[in-house]
């Protein structure tokens, strides 16, 4: 292949088992991440691995990985933010209907949705107004007592208070315009502290099991089908996935109300919801497998998904094409190209302000690690998944970021 030719994806990654295919140029994957993928491919229960173009190193397992296991599941292949994902809704507004200055709207969003480590005083106020959400929350909170993990009572209070809150890191709330000037409200969040607590509890438990003691890397320890340990993990994990979805639903409803107070002509329409750190029991190639997507979305035929970039690059709404070669998956975002510590070392608040020019958002040193330059090129990530040879998704719309709230 000449230097001017672009690879036709998927391609193998040298040094992995034949069960591993990737949708990115292997020479762009850093040494540490490539070594982690190779290690994952050698875990005995792994049937297939698919690597998305937003790939980067992750704790325990690679971010941007889709792992199909036979009769086993690895908690690290889901990650600590169980059920993390995206939600978006068309507001019925148009670009020309927005005020020229969105600062007051950003403050309104930040006032009603706690960010960072914060939560509500007791429970999200919207639950007193929305009976359907209230019923769902009551059911979810009640099922907390049925979790298998041995959790302190204080976790119940924290879990209730944080349901309907954003969190920190790369979690965000955005107001965006699409190709036709229509305005979308979008957010990215997961299962908050309770998801992390549950994940770490079960990871620690798995690492002590005898069948994992000889693994090359015990961070990829697994639970085996037919055991009480696996049943307990899946029970707790599915609860956390439901909690994460409820968390996003509460925030979306809260933000709709806040937007209506400023722009009462909003008329909310189509909603899109998708997990990108989760487990699903699926059949691929005629084999029943347990699929973990860590930094990847399901892209089954017709599935609508959201692939965000960064604070300055916007996002994409996509429709899955059901590509079995990818285990019906696609990327969850642009993916980081540098660590948070490296971004803070290289860039300043003034760099952040320059790279987010035109976006209503914080521009202080506290979120420099989320600077657009810390992320991969979103257009290249999308191009790798829409190429004619083996496409994963088709683009429905590109979203341009107008306002962004970070934790």
**pLDDT digits over 214-247, tens only?**
999 999 999 999 999 999 999 999 999 999 999 9
pLDDT tens string 273-330: 999 999 999 999 999 999 999 999 999 999 999 999 999 899 999 999 999 999 999 9
- 309 annotated as a binding-site residue: yes
pTM of this structure: 0.96
Average pLDDT, the chain: 96
Sequence-ordered strand ranges (E) for 190-295: 223-224, 271-275, 277-284, 287-294
- Three-state DSSP state, 300: coil
Q: Give the integer Cα–Cα distance in Å for 261 and 265.
A: 9
Q: What is the pLDDT of residue 75?
A: 98
**What domains sit in the chain, N to C, each tagged with a CATH number?**
20-304 (3.90.1860.10)
CA–CA separation, 359 and 353 (whole Å): 9
- Residues 291 and 327: their CA atoms lie apart, in Å, by 9
311 annotated ligand binder: yes
Per the CB < 8 A criterion, the answer to whether 340 and 369 are in contact is yes
On the 0-12 / 13-18 / 19+ scale of CB atoms within 10 A, 352 is buried
Residue 56 DSSP code: E
Q: Is 310 annotated as a binding residue?
A: yes
User: Does an H or E element contain 396, and which?
Assistant: strand 393-406
Integer Cα distance of 263 and 92 in angstroms:
11
Tell whether 188 is in a known binding site. Answer: yes
Whether residue 305 is annotated as binding a ligand: the answer is no
Does 333 belong to an annotated binding site?
yes
Catalytic residues: 332
Residue 4: pLDDT band (50, 70, 90) is: low
354 Cβ contact list (under 8 Å, min separation 6): none
The stretches of 263-330 forming alpha helices (DSSP H) are none
Pairing label, strands 63-69, 72-73: unpaired
Helix (H) or strand (E) holding 103: helix 103-112
């Amino acid at each position: 292949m000449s230097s001017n030719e672009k690879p036709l994806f998927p391609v193998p990654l040298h040094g992995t088992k034949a069960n591993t295919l990737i949708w990115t140029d292997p020479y762009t994957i850093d040494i540490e991440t490539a070594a982690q993928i190779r290690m994952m491919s050698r875990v005995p229960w792994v049937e297939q691995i698919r690597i998305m173009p937003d790939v980067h190193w992750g704790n325990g397992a690679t971010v941007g990985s889709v792992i199909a296991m036979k009769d086993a599941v690895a908690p690290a292949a889901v990650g600590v933010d169980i059920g993390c994902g995206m939600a978006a809704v068309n507001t019925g507004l148009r670009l020309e209907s927005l005020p020229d200055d969105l600062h007051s709207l950003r403050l309104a969003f930040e006032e009603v949705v706690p960010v960072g480590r914060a939560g509500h005083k007791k429970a999200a106020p919207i639950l007193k107004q929305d009976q359907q959400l209230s019923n769902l929350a009551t059911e979810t909170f009640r099922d907390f007592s049925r979790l298998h993990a041995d959790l302190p009572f204080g976790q119940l209070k924290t879990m209730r208070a944080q349901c309907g809150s954003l969190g920190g890191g790369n979690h965000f709330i955005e107001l965006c315009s699409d190709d036709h000037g229509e305005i979308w409200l979008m957010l990215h969040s997961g299962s908050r502290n309770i998801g992390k607590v549950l994940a770490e509890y079960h990871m620690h438990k798995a690492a002590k099991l005898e069948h994992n003691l000889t693994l090359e890397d015990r961070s990829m320890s697994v639970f085996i089908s037919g055991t009480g340990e696996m049943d307990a993990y899946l029970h707790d994990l599915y609860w956390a996935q439901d909690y994460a979805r409820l968390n996003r639903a509460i925030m979306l409803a809260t933000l709709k109300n806040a937007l209506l107070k400023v722009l009462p002509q909003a008329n909310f329409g189509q909603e899109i919801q998708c997990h990108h750190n989760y487990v699903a029991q699926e059949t691929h190639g005629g084999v029943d497998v347990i699929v973990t997507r860590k930094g990847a979305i399901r892209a089954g035929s017709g599935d609508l998904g959201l692939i965000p970039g960064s604070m300055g690059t916007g996002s994409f709404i996509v429709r899955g094409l059901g590509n079995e070669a990818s285990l019906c998956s696609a990327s969850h975002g642009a993916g980081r190209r540098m660590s948070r510590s490296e971004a803070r070392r290289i860039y300043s608040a003034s760099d952040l302000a320059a790279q987010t020019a035109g976006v209503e958002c914080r521009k202080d040193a506290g979120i420099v690690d989320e600077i657009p330059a810390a992320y991969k090129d979103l257009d290249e990530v999308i191009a790798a998944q829409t190429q004619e040879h083996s496409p994963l998704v088709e683009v429905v719309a590109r979203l341009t970021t107008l306002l962004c709230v970070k934790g």
